[in-house]
Chain A
Amino acid sequence: MNNLMILANETANEATVVNEFEQTLLRILVVIIMFGLGAGLTPKDFGSALKRPWGLVIGWFTQFFIMPLTVYLLIVSVLIPFSSGEGILFVALGALIMGSVPAGTTSNLFTYFSKGNLALSLTMTVNSTLWAFIMTPAALFIYSNLLGLDESLSVPFSELALVIVGLIIPVGLGMLLRKFSANVGAVIELIGSVVGLLFIPFLIIIWVPRNWQLLLTTEWPTYVVAIGMGLFGITVAYYFTKLIKVHPMNARTIALETGINNGPLAIAVIVAVYIDNPGLDQILLVPALYSLFIVLISALVTLVFRRANLAAEQKIPNLL
């Protein structure tokens, strides 16, 4: 069993290449973060996202049309022509799956830090996760056919349900606590955001040393795909939403939601479906790399968005 198999076995449910203890710790961190995000929200926030569902529809489109297409274009223009290794189609398959799954909680966290529309982000995550039952297999079917792979894949509904439950429960609890006490809510929100900040270096610290070998042996076209899909996904979705004149706050939200996909979900699905496939390690390659790099990319994008946000903010009256 090589390195990647260890990765696959250990991370059957989580994106990061980590051991049992770290995995539990990560889960707890994510729950705390989601709890904190919830503690900053009221039902009103969701009301406006649901009252005017255009954001959801646009997000649905960018998530399941623009993102898989971006990945497909990266595969045919960079990955296949420039890769030398064997089994490159397995890598391509992994990339396609990564590009076709919906967004996860990471997108919510970065939306929060980018001062985006958090309620819209959470609603989009739930929405796209539900749609993933149909849309992820459909997108995969179309593009794998174009690649001549003829793959059909079903996403286990239980995995999707798990994502939604894991999101709704802590967020709901956070909202409830805030209603009960604004002070408790504010403290939890603060703790959540501090944990969220620590989450990024924590991921890198536990990921990089253990997968050093993987980083060294991976060919550059694979990097281009793993890094490019997040970066281009965010960029294309951002300019698309700007083009159709979505409010800047929602444009940032939709962009992050589109480019940041649910790494843990992709890995879980792959392991569930391809556990006996000899190419499993190659299929897992892009999702594993993506899970690391998307955190770095999102952190950079967040900095850019925050700066843009400052500049675009209305000129504030000079009140104390």
Chain B
Amino acid sequence: MTERPWMKHYPADVPKEITDFGFSHLPDLLKASADEYSKQLAFTQVMPNGMNGSLTYKRVHEQSDSFARYLRDELGLKSGDRVAVQMPNCLAYPVVAFGILKAGLVLVNTNPLYTASEMIHQFRDSGAKALVVIDMFADRLPEVLGKTNVEHVVTVKVAEYFPGVVAGVIRMVQKVWSRTLPKVTVSHTKFKQAIKLGSNHATEVVEYQKELSSDSIAALQYTGGTTGVSKGAMLTHGNLVANTIQMIAMNGTYITPGKETVLTALPLYHIFAFTVNLLGFYHSGARNILVPSPRPPSNLKRAFENYKITWLSGVNTLFNALLNERWFQESPPKHLVGSAAGGMSLHDSVATKWKDLTGTPIVEGFGLTETSPVLSFNPMGGLSKLGSIGIPVPSTDIRCVDEDGKEVPVGQPGELVARGPQIMKGYWQNDEETANSIRDGWFYTGDIAEMDEDGYFKIVDRKKDMILVSGFNVYPNEIEELIASMDGISEVGVIGYPDEKSGEKVQAFVVSSVREPSKDEIIAYCREHLAAYKIPSKITMVDELPKSPIGKILRRELRDGMTSESKGA
């Protein structure tokens, strides 16, 4: 790779380039951890009231082997078949996901909150033959299954692998109190039964992996649901192995193998938590604290109280929510080393407040589903720039280019394009989109970014979200961050709306917390800090903003006019 400006900013303990990622596919990587950390706890699932269950590395290894055997020998699935998984963070998740990968099958992560039509699209498009689903959401299956190729359904309980009495109590509460257990009317196999059936077979799981190479597809990770029809990004074993190693390498000696406890509050079906928390920290021998739902944020209280959390991954919304929790303010985690932010831009005010309260940094990174996901990070052990997505992880090249694909000068905005071993193989059965987004080996992210002279990148905005006011480019992020920094504002989303005179005008959707600044106050504040054409001409007070599963504000839905003004305002 040619010398790039960020190279001099890699700390001493971070390699500039990784020539050998050490594993040819994910089952290899998983086995290495299971051998090395066999007796240690790999996963602990914590319910909001503190009830919990745990699995050791050895148990995860054995159970996922059994699940792999079930899929191959019991169900008769063939190498490369797709298996959809639809569940929140729970102990069964790693067993199921690792089982699928070990069986040489393709994992199709699916959001459990999807509606029937979203499920149908994703299952049909991927051609999934089997579905592993949490029983709480199985009531949509009768409507869905007939329209897909799904032949086998395995149902999972949320308290799988919990101690018997505790699992019983949770089940009773679900049944009697919260009434979240619908009757499963379609033919299905219970997870425990599936494991039992699998354990009756004696095939060595390596047999299933004979056809696997680093170029084999490991996962179809769907994306783009927020901008149009969702597409399956083909992430290969090589992509995910590389990105796991790149991400861990970027943190140098700040992640101590076998010693960390990471809190996984983001959903594992999302690529960020999947690679960073599940694969990355499993590879590092960490104990992964799984929280099924971080909503409301008080659900995380017991996890923070009962475990010595050393790492946390999150998105701006989650960090901000924790900072607003009284219990978190009163006893911030004492053992925390660092936190990783991604998924959406981290507001400077949140990063600063976090540092003040916990004494530890949030390092911001950047990536997309198509890039497995990590492209860049601020190095823990080196220069970390506020408001920047950092520098490319080792063996990754990033440039900002103009409309013709030519690199723009330092400090100029351009579309961020990237090259590296983590870039997806393409979109599943969608050559047109693949050709659109991967050109000459570079992946076009659709994000506008700038690089400074140190080689640090800063995301300006999504290309699609840019607002054109009388010929001037307005980036919603800039206005959002400004309004969010006002006292009493909890969230804000900015979009453009058509205007006869200026082409487009700026509109802000604002959720305010305790003290409500008036619309006039917000305008006045913007006037102080922004050029005239950037000042919102419309401000709408709302109760809530539409968000993606990990908490990204969905500007498209704002544009579609699906958010109505709050009655209080």
Contacting residues, chain A, for B65 (C-beta < 8 A): none
Residues in A244-281 with C-beta less than 8 Å from chain B: 247, 249
Contact residue among A44, A313, A320 (Cβ-Cβ distance under 8 Å from B549): A320
**Is A84's beta carbon under 8 Å from chain B?**
no
Contact residue among A44, A47, A186, A249 (Cβ-Cβ distance under 8 Å from B51): A186
Please judge, given known A-B contacts A44-B305, A187-B165, whether A318 and B551 are in contact too, CB under 8 Å: yes
Contacting residues, chain B, for A182 (C-beta < 8 A): 46, 50-52, 302, 306
Contacting residues, chain A, for B330 (C-beta < 8 A): 44, 48
**Is B163's beta carbon under 8 Å from chain A?**
yes
Contacting residues, chain B, for A42 (C-beta < 8 A): 305
Q: List the one stretch of B13-21, B315-323, B420-428 in contact with chain A.
A: B315-323
Contacting residues, chain B, for A313 (C-beta < 8 A): 296
Residues in B349-392 with C-beta less than 8 Å from chain A: none
- Beta-carbon contact of A319 and B551 below 8 Å: yes
Q: List the one stretch of B225-233, B404-412, B540-548 in contact with chain A.
A: B540-548
**Is A209's beta carbon under 8 Å from chain B?**
no
**Is B255's beta carbon under 8 Å from chain A?**
no
Residue of A nearest to B166 (CB): A183
Contacting residues, chain A, for B131 (C-beta < 8 A): none
Contacting residues, chain A, for B47 (C-beta < 8 A): 186
Residue of A nearest to B552 (CB): A318
Nearest-Cβ distance from residue B267 to partner chain A, whole angstroms: 5
Contacting residues, chain A, for B317 (C-beta < 8 A): 317-319
Contacting residues, chain B, for A190 (C-beta < 8 A): 49, 169, 173
Contacting residues, chain B, for A99 (C-beta < 8 A): none
Nearest-Cβ distance from residue A189 to partner chain B, whole angstroms: 7
Contacting residues, chain A, for B321 (C-beta < 8 A): 314, 316-317
Interface size class of B (residues with CB under 8 A): 35 or more
Contact residue among B166, B326, B551 (Cβ-Cβ distance under 8 Å from A249): B326
Contacting residues, chain A, for B165 (C-beta < 8 A): 187
Most B CB within 10 A of own CB, among A178, A312, A313, A319: A319
- Beta-carbon contact of A318 and B111 below 8 Å: no
Contacting residues, chain A, for B293 (C-beta < 8 A): 319-320
Give me the interface of A with B, judged by CB distance under 8 Å. Answer: 42, 44, 47-48, 178, 182-183, 185-187, 189-190, 247, 249, 312-320
23 contacts between A and B (CB under 8 A): A44-B330, A44-B331, A183-B51, A183-B163, A183-B166, A187-B51, A187-B165, A187-B166, A189-B49, A314-B324, A314-B490, A315-B544, A316-B297, A317-B297, A317-B317, A317-B547, A319-B293, A319-B317, A319-B318, A319-B549, A319-B551, A320-B267, A320-B549
Give me the interface of B with A, judged by CB distance under 8 Å. Answer: 46-47, 49-52, 88, 111-113, 162-163, 165-166, 169, 173, 265-267, 293-297, 302, 305-306, 317-318, 320-321, 324-326, 330-331, 490-491, 511, 513-514, 543-547, 549-551
